[in-house]
Amino acid sequence: QRPVTMMPSTASRHAWVVLLLAWWRASLLLGRSARLALALATPVAAATTTVPLKPLAPPLVSTTPSAAAAAADPTAPHGHHADEPSWLAATRDENARFVRGGAGLSSEHARLWRRAAELFDAYQREFAATGRLTAPSARRLLEAAEHLEALAGTKFDDERMFLLYGRLNDVYAPLASQESGSAAGECCSEEETQATYCAKAAQWCVQRALCPQCLNAFATRETSPYDCWNAAVSNAITLYRRAGDDARAEATLQKLARQHPFAATRYERVDQTPKVYFPGLVARPFWDARRFDLVRRLEDAYNTDGPRRTRILAEIDALARSASTTLTPMFSPSAPLAAGPTTADAAGPWAELQLYDGRRWDEASCALAPTLVGLMRDPATLEPHREICRVPDDPLLENTCGTAVIVTLLRLTPGSRILPHCGTTNRRLIMQFALRGSDGVAFTVGGETRGYGGDGRGDSAQKVEHRRELPSLLS
């Protein structure tokens, strides 16, 4: 897996980009403009180590308090409400644990945490409503960071330090996701914003990784129940690279990620740091998409079968028109997304229609795009195409898909950028197939930038650091 980026241009006049994504074995992207992606599982390569691990504290398992009434105090546990994102409830739980856990806090420390919690809570609630970072919220995050960094100068118990470092990363990550002309850039130049906020977020990722709770919550495969260590070191390397600090990125890889005796983080290069990494597999930014039967089937149907293409586009356009009710938003404060200037519908700047989870098709969703879905299923058995990744029915068999969604339609709004990131595992490929609006879209994998070559084209990418940028339609 290597990082990916989409870069803006002035070519497209479509309102959205729509992609079909498929994990290879596949997944889909959708919008009024379009794109598709597929992932193919590669042979398993087991990583082994003989270095002993010192006994550590058990992994920290975060649970939301079951009994709680909603209160104005953001540090009080409220429970989870069905109409709010799960990360809001998780934040309240962390707030309560910091204030009430372990030895008592001084009144000044409690005041600093509560004020930072209030500011972060206000940012999260606005983000949940709008899907973007506004100028007032950017200022709230910067003030919260001041209070939290004042607390970081004090040595607390291990759990409080773990929570504090995590919250500092949570504060700086959305600031680091904003680019030129954004709200986060008001206080300084674009270069200073990116270098400063990315480096700060990386710094706190490293500190969190070194906490016993995170050090012992590591993943050895895609389905491991804990992955705090893997996520922290992977994110730190990517953030340092985004900050332009290649020396610290390399040092984090060599002196931190590779030193864990059990975790699947023995990375061999700084631009390929998925959450779980298996050495010895062939890695290249792009693979020849036409070598895969599914890609050939999709391209041939889209480009040579006029009636079928017409039906596909009619289905995609209908989904775009009903996006507010048919697509599911794909944003969270930590998502590697810089939203574009275009005002989106209720589905937000990045949204999807999930079609296949590795075990079963979502028949209700498939009914909204029957022509497209029909190309990915066996007409007799309705089973997925043989190249699409499947989750084993037997829990004792290894699941290398590395994701809960295997085939999905994705939509990204104009001017939006998917920032450099690496995925879950290097044991699969991802196919992206452009459906609508791919003109002017740039896709960078491992430092190599390509366009889609027009709608109706598939590309198969290794999970190396990658990003995407969509054209802005403001003119």
Q: Print pLDDT tens along the chain (475 aa).
A: 444 333 333 334 344 566 677 655 443 333 333 222 322 222 222 222 223 333 333 333 332 222 222 333 444 444 434 456 777 888 889 999 999 876 778 999 999 999 999 999 999 998 888 778 888 999 999 999 999 999 999 999 999 999 999 999 999 999 988 754 455 555 555 556 778 999 999 999 999 999 999 999 999 999 899 999 999 999 999 999 999 999 999 999 999 999 999 999 999 999 999 999 999 998 888 888 889 999 999 999 998 989 999 999 999 999 988 888 888 887 777 777 777 776 667 777 888 999 999 999 999 999 999 999 999 999 888 899 999 999 888 877 888 887 888 999 988 888 888 888 888 999 888 888 989 888 888 888 888 888 887 676 665 554 455 455 443 322 2
Residues 93-99: contacts with CB within 8 Å, 24+ apart? 93/62, 93/63, 93/64, 93/65, 94/62, 94/163, 94/166, 94/167, 95/121, 96/65, 97/159, 97/163, 98/160, 98/163, 98/164, 99/75
- The reported pLDDT for the residue numbered 439 is 83
Number of Cα atoms under 13 Å in the Cβ half of residue 68? 20
Is residue 419 a contact partner of residue 338, using CB atoms and an 8 Å limit?
yes
The tokens 């069905």 sit on which residue? Answer: 82
Signed CA dihedral, 413, 419, 420, 421: sign only? negative
**What is the identity of the amino acid at 230?**
N
Question: With b meaning 16 or more CB within 10 Å and e meaning fewer, what string describes 450-469?
Answer: ebbeebbbbbbbbbbbbbbb
Rg value, the chain, Cα: 22
Tokens coding 198? 């990315």
Tokens coding 277? 């990494």
**What is the identity of the amino acid at 302?**
Y
Pairing state between β 337-338 and 417-421 = antiparallel
Sequence-distant (6+) residues with CB within 8 A of 137 are 122, 123, 126, 127, 183
> Distances in Å between the alpha carbon of 33 and those of 12, 89, 421?
9, 34, 23
Q: Where are the beta strands (DSSP E) in 26-77?
A: 26-29, 34-38
Is residue 152 a contact partner of residue 98, using CB atoms and an 8 Å limit?
no
| Residue 181 DSSP code | T
Between CA 339 and CA 345 the distance in angstroms is 13
Residues 45-50: contacts with CB within 8 Å, 24+ apart? 45/278, 45/279, 45/280, 45/281, 45/427, 46/278, 47/220, 47/264, 47/266, 47/277, 47/278, 47/279, 49/261, 49/262, 49/266
Continuous segment of H or E residues that includes residue 411: strand 407-412
**pTM tops 0.75:** yes
- The reported pLDDT for the residue numbered 165 is 97
- The reported pLDDT for the residue numbered 444 is 86
Signed CA dihedral, 100, 101, 107, 111: sign only? negative
Between CA 100 and CA 88 the distance in angstroms is 19
| Residue 343 DSSP code | P
Sequence-distant (6+) residues with CB within 8 A of 224 are 218, 276
- The reported pLDDT for the residue numbered 38 is 29
The tokens 């775009």 sit on which residue? Answer: 320
- The reported pLDDT for the residue numbered 7 is 39
Between CA 183 and CA 449 the distance in angstroms is 28
- The reported pLDDT for the residue numbered 460 is 54
> Distances in Å between the alpha carbon of 435 and those of 309, 374, 426?
10, 15, 26
Number of other residues whose CB lies within 10 A of the CB of residue 307: 8
**Residue (of 407, 296, 327, 347) closest to 28 by Cα position:** 407
The tokens 């609006």 sit on which residue? Answer: 437
